[in-house]
Each structure stands twice: as C-alpha cells, then as structure tokens.
Structure 1
Amino acid sequence: MKRILKKVLLAFLIVCPTTGLLFSESEDKKAVVLEYDGRLVGAYQPGKGWLKESQAKDLINPKEDCFVYSISEGIGQTIRGELMEPDIDGGLILNVTKYVDDKDFKREPSYWNPYPRKEIRISPKSQTYQKIAAKRIKKKGVKLKKARLTSGYRIDLDGNGTEEVVLTGATRNRIFSAVEPHKAGDYSFVLFRYINKKGKVETQDVELQAFTKEPDPKKGALHNISEFKIAEFIDINGDGKVEVILSQVVWEGWGVTIFEFSGEKLLPVLSKGWGH
C-alpha cells in the first residue's frame, strides 16, 4: 500500500466512525467532518447536529482511517486525517494521507448516498432569470433592465418532487479585487427560488450586495463587495436532503457556508471564514 502525502487544495467531506469499525453495517452513527481548502470548517454528528470548528477538531484521529469525498469532484478515497498547527489566518490545517493504490478501498459507503439528486445547470443567458435578479437588485437602489448571471442551477433539495432554483451573479467577472475598489452600480448576489406551502413562487435574497455610490476613502474600507460561488450540492448528513455549500471571497479573507432548505427558505447551519 503506497501512501502519498498530498496538500489538500480542494474541499473534502471526511466520513469518520464515532465507534466501531469503519463501514461496519451494524454501526449507524457516523461523524461527517468538513474541510475546505485544507482548513477545518466543522462537522455533522448524529445526535449532536452541526458542530463548529472548535468541536469538530476532537473528531479527527490520526490513527484512524476515514473516507473522503471531494466536494468539487466527488471522488472517494480512504484517508487518514491529522490536525496541524494553526495557519497564519487562524484556521486549523488538516493534513491528509491518501492511500491511492489500495485495491480494497471503497468508492463510497453503502449506508450513505451523498448525491441523491443531481443539479441541472441553467444558462446564465436566461433572460427570465436576468430580469428576476434585476428586480431584486433594484430594491437596493441600482436600476438595470437585466442583471448579469454567473451561474444557475435547478435541483430538488428536499426530495418532494419540486425543483428549487439557485442563482449567482455579479456586475463582472472577478467582481472582488484586492487592488480596485467597487464602483457605483456594482452588485453581487445569490438568489434562491422555491415554491412555498401555498403553491406560490418565492425569491429569497441569500446574499445581495449593491452599491449606488463610489466608496468614500474617508469612511472605511474600499473593498466592500464579495464574490460568491456555489461550491457544491451534496447530502452531508445522510438525511436524504441536499445541502447547498456557498463559498465567498471578501476583502483579505474567504469563507464557506452550508445551507439547509427548511421548506420555506435556505438557512445557514454551519459557516467558517478565514483572513486577516
């Protein structure tokens, strides 16, 4: 068995047993540890729910093999995790050893399907959704006929047979810049469309930033706008419902937030950011 120590550059889900043997069919309580860009975010543990970074670090055992899913690629690997010294930004670095030549390693655990339903891409050129986004942005004082979309997805999050819609957008590519402040008319957003209990379509502003004026250098930071991306749609806790993972780049920092669909709106259940 060849072991390769590799710096983690993508986001992974690490499934670790809380008791018993790994992947034992009789053991039904597993802890799911989430790390992003090599840094520990938090975890989900049956019976305890969502755990913050400070609680999740106790679940990492360097002497115990685990199972990992790449959030961006969905590739399973048998791994061994170990917490390292805190990074300069305060995050806890998670070191991962992969057994890439292990012929017996399992591609996925039989007790859990992380992708019960797959998302369907929506064209960023959809005029219908461009106009819907423009109406939301207008409430912030920025008037435009059509908003610029960067991504769009349809997916049945809760498994009730009805698809929800997630949209992201910004004035331009790389809306966030460390060397250039935002401009008047700049916007960045994440919108969520769903059918409520009364059968009507609702739109939720998960994130919505819009600026009507140029930043005043005498009144704080010049880089107030964020860049949002959908990192993944995945069932983290094994309840059959799909969570939405949102990544965000801000001034001198970045972060990730996990959302659950309550049936009425997207609710943040776990969030972690890093930076200065």
Structure 2
Amino acid sequence: MKAAARLGALFICASATASDLHPIVEVQSGYLFGAASDGKWLKAEESARSVKADTTYQIYSLTVKLGEATGSAPKSVDEPCPDTMEVTLSEKPEDGVIALAAPWNALPRKPHMADTTQQVYVDAVRDFLKTKGIEQPKVKIDNILRIDLDGDGEEEVLITATNYFRKDESVPMR
C-alpha cells in the first residue's frame, strides 16, 4: 500500500472528464486513492464523481503487470470512514497491489525484490527508528525493492517495515 501511495504522490490536483481521468485503486481493499488528469492529482472524493462503472484497470504487482480488471463506480465505504471511496474490481490477483486506468506502462523500469535480511538494510531501519525515539526497535522488514525511479542509472532502495505487536506476527487487514 505504501508503494501505491508513493505512485499517487507523483501527481498533483485539478478537475477532469472521464476520458482523461486515470484513477488509481489499491487492489486488495479496493480503496480509490484518487486520479491523475493532465499531470495533476485529484483526491479520491473529487475524482470519484467522474470515475465510471466498467472502467478498465491495468493490475500490477510490485514487480510486474498481472492483467486487467473492470471496476465498479466508486462508492463510500460508509462508517467509520465515509470519505473513503471504494471500487469493486472484477479480478483481484493475490499479488495485485495497484490498479491503474491508463494506457501507459506503469513499470517502465523493472523493480527487483531484494533479500529482507540484508544486514545493511536492517541496520539502516534500526538506526532510523532510533532517531524517532524508539530505543530498542524490533526490525521487521516486509519488502525491499531496488529500482531506478528517476532514470539516472542509479537504483534507489524502497523499504517497507512493520511491527504491529500481534502474537501471530500477522499484519492487520492483509
């Protein structure tokens, strides 16, 4: 989901017609993040008014395109989060992360999954958590992706880590 938020953060804000509107949906929950239109970003609530039923989405995992799905018109998930908009997708691949209604390739450079136990990254996460006041952090890295985000030939490293203090060590709502 963090990867999805980063993708959404690449865009900025405006209004749009359905033909040039490119909504972004988190696959497993169906949550509408918002939409891109003419290089600008629309929040979910604003873009939901223009997203139509039967919109075709490209479904992506963290590393590859998985296929296509058709989406419903967005609707509120109601209480306790009435501002959260949801799209029902016709297909929800288990590895699906992001659904994007756009003709372009959302993965022009291929990300590579890295070993989550690499000491250099465990230490980096531990050091970061210590700067946030956590004296003895328990580091649980979920994913490490290496990808050249800006096309400069240098791979950036994206790390996601969680610690929910559950006995079974599962992540809530996953």
Query: Shorter-chain-normalised TM-score: which range?
Result: 0.5 to 0.7
* Alpha-carbon distance in 2 for matches of 1:79, 1:115: 20
What's the counterpart of residue 142 of structure 2?
A: 150
Confirm or deny that 1:79 pairs with 2:33: no
What's the counterpart of residue 33 of structure 1?
A: 23
Helix, strand or coil: the match of 1:133?
A: helix
Flag the structure with higher strand content: 1
Flag the structure with higher helix content: 2
**Cα offset for 1:149?**
2.5
Does the Cα contact within 8 Å between 2:34 and 2:43 map onto a contact in 1? yes
Residue identity in the other structure for 1:57 = A
Structure 2 segments unaligned to the other structure (5+ residues): 5-16, 92-99
Q: 2:128 aligns with which of 123, 136, 141?
A: 136
What's the counterpart of residue 264 of structure 1?
A: none
**Cα offset for 1:145?**
9.3
Helix, strand or coil: the match of 2:73?
A: strand
Q: Give me the identity figure in percent.
A: 26
What's the counterpart of residue 95 of structure 2?
A: none
TM-score under structure 1 length normalisation:
0.42
Which residues in structure 2 correspond to 1:104-143 (within 5 Å)? 111-143=103-135
Residue identity in the other structure for 1:131 = D
TM-score under structure 2 length normalisation:
0.62
* Alpha-carbon distance in 2 for matches of 1:84, 1:146: 38
Does the Cα contact within 8 Å between 1:87 and 1:93 map onto a contact in 2? no
Structure 1 segments unaligned to the other structure (5+ residues): 1-10, 12-16, 20-29, 99-107, 180-226, 228-248, 255-276
**Structure of larger gyration radius:** 1
The count of aligned residue pairs is 141
**Cα offset for 1:155?**
0.7
**Cα offset for 1:74?**
3.0
* Alpha-carbon distance in 1 for matches of 2:73, 2:139: 44
**Cα offset for 1:136?**
1.9
Helix, strand or coil: the match of 1:129?
A: helix
Residue identity in the other structure for 1:118 = K
